[in-house]
Chain A
Amino acid sequence: MTTDSYTALAFYVIAGLMVVGALGIVLLPRVVHAALAMVFVFFLISGIYVLLGADFIAATQIIIYVGAITVLFLFAIMLTNRSYAPDSNPANSQWMAATGVAVLTFGSLAALVSQANIPQSSDVSAGLGDVTLALGQLLMGPYIIPFEIAGVLLLAAMIGAIVIAKES
């Protein structure tokens, strides 16, 4: 097998498992299980990033989503009531309309991207040097203002979360 077919195999395995996991998030009856399915999906998305040569983003995905955000969600689930009840992840009365909207959205998006003529560079894997180094130089160079604003945003979110969640 060539490298191309290995990549194709990895892509199809990851994509299939990811769709199963995403369906698990919306269909599993217990909200704790839905959160665990979400962890599964986040892991697989990090695998997609590795396939795309984005090593740093893959590591960031694991640390922030699988590590931090998942713990946050599990805390929120455990702190609210009946988190392990068999009906803790119910659908509302509009689930049929929601199905229609989701199917239509996927249909139009898929039709759009399959018909779009996106110019691609032919040699996509060559010349991919130290991506992490280049990312750091970008963040400290042309993107320094958004980078600093992101820091301020995180501080504001932290203070806001403490103020909102504090018992008055």
Chain B
Amino acid sequence: MPITLTHYLVLSALIFSIGLFGVLAKRNVVAILMCVEVMMNAVNIALVAISHYRLVPAGNLVSGLNGQVLTLFVITVSAAEASVALAIILAIYRGRRTVNVDEVNLMKW
């Protein structure tokens, strides 16, 4: 059975769901951030797969690459997000001596 677009999309959904579980269930904020990165990568798989399987056949390469361009921008934004988030984690750790999200409850009503 050849590999189709559905295979890639199901793989993407599976990785995304595992990342979602990690985001919801982890206590260490670094682990939560790692799971966010995994979710972004799952979305990137879906973008590249759709971009590949919907290539316009008549030699029009450019219009089949929009998904890959979008993936490049997602990678850029996630790099920026990771650097700022890790700086915030260090600032929190410096002030409160913990990285567990359930102990950082200053803004909890």
- Give the shortest distance, in Å, between B96 (CB) and chain A (any CB): 11
Write out the residue numbers on chain A whose beta carbons fall within 8 Å of the beta carbon of B104: none
Chain A interface, DSSP helix/strand/loop, else mixed: helix
From residue 114 to 163 of chain A, which have CB atoms closer than 8 A to chain B? 114, 118-124, 126-129, 131, 134-135, 137-139, 143, 146, 150, 153-154, 156-158, 160-162
Interface range, B side: 35 or more
CB pair B8–A64 under 8 Å, yes or no, is: no
Given contacts A19-B14, A80-B30, A160-B87, contact A26 B6 (CB under 8 A): no
How far is it, in angstroms, between the C-alpha of A166 and the C-alpha of B63 when the chains are bound?
A: 44
- How many residues of A are counted as interface, with CB atoms below 8 angstroms from the partner's CB atoms? 91
Write out the residue numbers on chain A whose beta carbons fall within 8 Å of the beta carbon of B101: 92
Q: Mark B1-13, 1 if CB is under 8 A from A, else 0.
A: 1111111111101
Write out the residue numbers on chain A whose beta carbons fall within 8 Å of the beta carbon of B69: 135, 138-139, 143
Write out the residue numbers on chain B whose beta carbons fall within 8 Å of the beta carbon of A146: 73
Binding site for A on B (CB under 8 A): 1-11, 13-22, 24-28, 30-31, 33-35, 37-38, 41, 44-45, 48-57, 59, 61-62, 65-66, 68-69, 71-73, 75-84, 86-91, 93-94, 97-102
Binding site for B on A (CB under 8 A): 4, 7-8, 11, 15, 18-19, 22-23, 25-26, 31, 34-35, 38, 41-42, 45, 48-49, 51-54, 56-57, 60-61, 64-65, 68-69, 72-73, 75-77, 79-81, 88-95, 97-99, 101-103, 105-106, 109-110, 113-114, 118-124, 126-129, 131, 134-135, 137-139, 143, 146, 150, 153-154, 156-158, 160-162, 164-165, 167
